[in-house]
Amino acid sequence: MKNKVLVILAASAAALGSAIIAAPANAQTANLPVEIQIKPGVFLRTYESLKFVVSTQDLLGGKSVDQVGKYDETTGTITPLPKTAPPTEATTEVIRTVTPLYQVWGGTGSKVKITPTKDTLVSSTNGGLGSADTVVMSVVAGNDITTTPTPAGTPYEGTAQLKFKFSNGNTSSGTNYTGGQLSISVVSP
């Protein structure tokens, strides 16, 4: 039995040795072509933040003069000026145009989308309403644009028009609204 095991081990070693010697005959080599293609890139530049100033005249629709009554000494018609606050023809919408809002290099035919990702700004004070006033932001012009070719080294400049809708057209001077966020995304073809 011992001899049979030794014979089997010797035969196995001989087979393994001939397989190792014969290995190069079973090896293969493949040569692969390598290629690099440069695709057009796109670069976006815009502001770090946007901060707008709205005056009470903006909230009055631009009206800051109220002409009432008559003062005519020849006829004795004198209407005293009222002591009440100016008329409340207040608007609650203010539009601001940002020119340019962004620049895009490369990627001619890129799609540019401007989205208020946080569309509600909240006041730091209660504005006399008992709760915080809000302003809702929307994009009314300049959204979903496809960039057009520009001379080499010149960016495509995009403009946008933003609408701000105030919950309180009579908000007090000095009120700040914060928390809004505008997103500009550029997708190159």
Show Cβ contacts of residue 117 under 8 Å, excluding neighbours closer than 6 positions: 181, 182, 183
CB 124 within 8 A of CB 153: no
Rounded distance, CA 24 to CA 15, Å?
A: 16
Dump pLDDT digits (tens) for 102-154: 999 887 789 999 999 999 999 876 545 456 789 999 999 999 999 988 888 89
Is 33 a member of any domain? no
Is 96 a member of any domain? yes
Is 163 a member of any domain? yes
Is 86 a member of any domain? yes
- What pLDDT does 24 receive? 59
Is 2 a member of any domain? no
Residue 56 class from Cβ within 10 Å (0-12 exposed, 13-18 middle, 19+ buried)?
Answer: middle
- What pLDDT does 51 receive? 96
Is 10 a member of any domain? no
Residue 3 phi/psi, 5-degree rounding, is -65, -35
Is 29 a member of any domain? no
Is 70 a member of any domain? yes
What is the DSSP secondary structure assignment for residue 52, as one 8-state letter? -
**In the chain, how many domains are there?**
1
Mean pLDDT of 69-78: 87
Least confident of 31-35, 128-132, 179-183: 128-132
Quick check: 23 pLDDT over 80? no
Least confident of 78-87, 89-98, 122-131, 137-146: 122-131
- What pLDDT does 101 receive? 97
Rounded distance, CA 137 to CA 23, Å?
A: 73
What is the DSSP secondary structure assignment for residue 187, as one 8-state letter? E
Of 170, 182, 163, 171, whose CA–CA distance to 123 is shortest? 171
Q: 50 or 23: whose pLDDT is higher?
A: 50
Domain that holds residue 61: 42-187
Mean pLDDT of 31-52: 92
Residue 80 class from Cβ within 10 Å (0-12 exposed, 13-18 middle, 19+ buried)?
Answer: exposed
Quick check: 83 pLDDT over 70? yes
- What pLDDT does 133 receive? 87
